[in-house]
Amino acid sequence: MAYFKEIVTKAVIGKGKKTTTQKYVIKPEETPNTVLGCWIINHRFNGAMSHGDIFVNGNYDVNVWYSYDGDTRTGVASGNFSYSDKMNVPINSSSKLTNDSEVIVSSLSDPNVVEVSVVNGEIHFSVRKELGIEVVGDTKIRVNVEDNFDDYTVIEDDEVAPEVLDEIDNEIKEDYLEVTDDSSEIA
């Protein structure tokens, strides 16, 4: 007859991914004519929980290469931009978020600039990124247990055959431990 036991363990209790696009503005020292390039470096992020909600907080540096002075000179404008994205991660029905739950974040698609333009002497751009989220927490699993399952092997005591014992008795020298009374041998 089989029955089930419930085991409490740590496991992934929620998993999801989210793509976001955010708009930013950089105001260079000079008035730009054309954007020649835009790249993102130093992307850092971490997952956090606050009041039962899951957030990803992060930042990155943006460098925009532009031309100015009638497209005769170039410059680079840089800025550090932060974000905080709320993530609605579906949690398994048998699990709950607690303060002990761990949020693991990975970048599925690095942030990149998808749109850039010059508007009134400012550079407007949009950044798209895709993040994956895993929430690790306590959950229950159900295991099938069979009550008649016996995985032990019976171990018999080792017995010595009588002929081996007789052979050992024949080899014993009875006078081996006799003490001599000859004190001259002790010097």
| pLDDT higher than 70, residue 71 | yes
86-112: pLDDT as tens digits: 998 888 877 778 778 899 999 999 999
**More confident site: 22 or 179:** 22
Non-local (6+) Cβ contacts of 40 within 8 A are: 60, 61, 62, 63, 110, 111, 112, 113, 127
Measured between alpha carbons, how far apart are the two ends of the chain, in Å? 80
Contact 3, 147 (CB under 8 A): yes
| pLDDT higher than 60, residue 184 | no
10-58: pLDDT as tens digits: 989 899 999 999 999 999 999 999 999 999 999 999 998 888 789 999 9
d(C-alpha 105, C-alpha 139), whole Å: 20
112-146: pLDDT as tens digits: 999 999 999 999 999 999 999 999 988 888 888 87
Contact 33, 70 (CB under 8 A): yes
